[in-house]
Amino acid sequence: MREVIFSRNNESKWKEMEEYLSGSRRITADELADYYIHINDDLSYAKTFYPQSHLVSYLNEIALGLHRKIYKTKKEKKSRIKQFWRYEVPAAMRAGHKELFYSTVVFLVAIAIGVFSSMQDDSFVRLILGNDYVNMTLNNIDEGDPMGVYRSHSQGGMFWGIAINNVRVSFLAFAFGILSSLATGYILFQNGIMVGAFQYFFIQKGLGWISFSTIFLHGALELSAIVIAGAAGMIIGNSWMFPGTYSRSVSLTKGSKRALKIIVGLVPVFIIAAVIESFVTRLYQDMPSALRSIIILASFAWVIYYFVILPIQLEKQRITESTFDKS
């Protein structure tokens, strides 16, 4: 590539970096990291193809300025943890809203297929859930305790087992992204099929509402976490499959950092879902239907706010502040 074309393609980004170093532009920590990766990538390219050009000195000066901004000595702010949950996780989630949409669609389609397949073939539920589980549930229904599985273990032991399983499933959806977004989609599809088959099994027995209002006491958070973890996996997969203007390694690094923040952001969701399933869901027979509905709706509302609405609000706020700073 000719030097003039290389400069023309990147000068707007370099200008942004100069504005940041001069104090006329405000950026987030993630954007600073992106700038640093980008400028070093450009500097290496310039050193290789235009070693005698003044462009090398120019880019080196910007790189040094960004380096000082990142690594200058200062006390860690006490609000660092608060900032992570308040800003960094939502920012990472905002960048992955497209993947969240795809992940949600795959999961809902899989649920629909699970329901439809169970309607067409009575043996499908046993194929998906296993004979032992189906037989145990049928026995519980006969005894008047259809959700008795949630009383079958001690609360403490159940909590750890559920928490570990939730983390395992979500981590698989996340980690499979390194193979491809399709691999993550497979994990989501597999779990969606199970949910659909499970729900139809109870609908068939005339226990659809009992099943839904009991399972989604914890499932509103648990299943949402799986879908969001799937979005994180797709972010990783898309980052190396469709790197855009970045090299695959740089794009993968950027995507992995965003995805990891999302997974860390899901930790409280895993814990709260496990607590509800272990200590609250087992009380479903003594819990008014209205209270179950409130817990389910509140859980979905919180997930939608934190992972969808808040990221959009913060992005609009940042754009407004940036425009104000320039004026």
> Tokens in use for 246?
């970045």
**Is there a contact between 259 and 235 (Cβ–Cβ < 8 Å)?**
yes
**Burial label, 282 (beta-carbon count in 10 A; 0-12, 13-18, 19+):** buried
Q: Label residue 135 exposed, middle or buried (CB < 10 Å: 0-12, 13-18, 19+).
A: exposed
Q: What is the pLDDT of residues 17-45, one digit of tens each?
A: 988 888 888 888 778 888 888 898 888 88
pLDDT at site 316: 83
pLDDT in tens, the chain (327 residues): 788 888 888 888 898 898 888 888 888 877 888 888 889 888 888 888 888 888 888 898 898 888 888 776 444 454 677 788 888 899 999 989 999 999 999 999 999 999 999 999 988 999 988 888 888 888 888 888 777 666 666 665 566 666 677 777 777 887 888 888 888 999 899 999 999 999 999 998 898 888 888 889 988 999 999 999 999 999 999 988 888 777 888 888 888 889 999 998 998 898 898 888 888 887 887 888 899 999 999 999 999 999 999 999 988 887 665 444 444
The helix or strand, by DSSP H or E, that contains position 107, with its residue range, turns out to be helix 97-120
Average predicted confidence (pLDDT) for the chain: 84
| Segment 239-281, tens digit of pLDDT | 888 887 778 888 888 888 899 999 989 988 988 988 888 888 8
Q: Mind listing the pLDDT tens digit for each residue in 181-206? A: 888 999 899 999 999 999 999 998 89
Q: pLDDT above 70 covers what percent of the chain?
A: 89
**pLDDT at position 107, please?**
95
Kindly list the domain boundaries of the chain, sorted by start residue.
3-72, 94-299
